[in-house]
Amino acid sequence: MTHVPTVEVSLPQDVHAQFERLVDEEFVTEEEAVEELLSAGLDAYTRDVSGDDRGPTDVADEYADDMWDTAEDPAASGPDDDYL
């Protein structure tokens, strides 16, 4: 028989209520919920820490290279350019 460690956690009331809702809606037992949620959280945490060193990606950062500079000074353009 494999020994399974037991962990006790104190949660704020709102987090506990959210956890209970998840258990009722998505999982068969509390034990299954704890195991899956902790595993998913640990996987996400280790992937974030050991993965990409660029930091969090912002939607604006993703598309910044595809955008043109709209702050360019119109007076700096040549005489052939028409501006309203």
pLDDT tens digits for range 64-79 = 655 555 556 556 655 5
Nearest CA to 42 out of 54, 34, 52 is that of: 34
Which pLDDT value is given to residue 16? 95
Instruction: Output 50 or 40, whichever has higher pLDDT.
Output: 40
Q: Are 33 and 26 in contact (CB under 8 A)?
A: yes
Q: Are 55 and 49 in contact (CB under 8 A)?
A: no
Which pLDDT value is given to residue 49? 63
Which pLDDT value is given to residue 3? 83
Q: Match 């959280």 to its residue by tokens.
A: 41
Question: For 7-48, what is each residue's pLDDT tens digit?
Answer: 898 999 999 999 999 999 999 999 999 999 999 999 998 886
Distance CA 55, CA 62 (A): 12
pLDDT band at 4 (very low <50, low <70, confident <90, very high): confident
* Dihedral in degrees, nearest 10, Cα atoms 46, 47, 51, 53: -80
Distance CA 70, CA 17 (A): 48
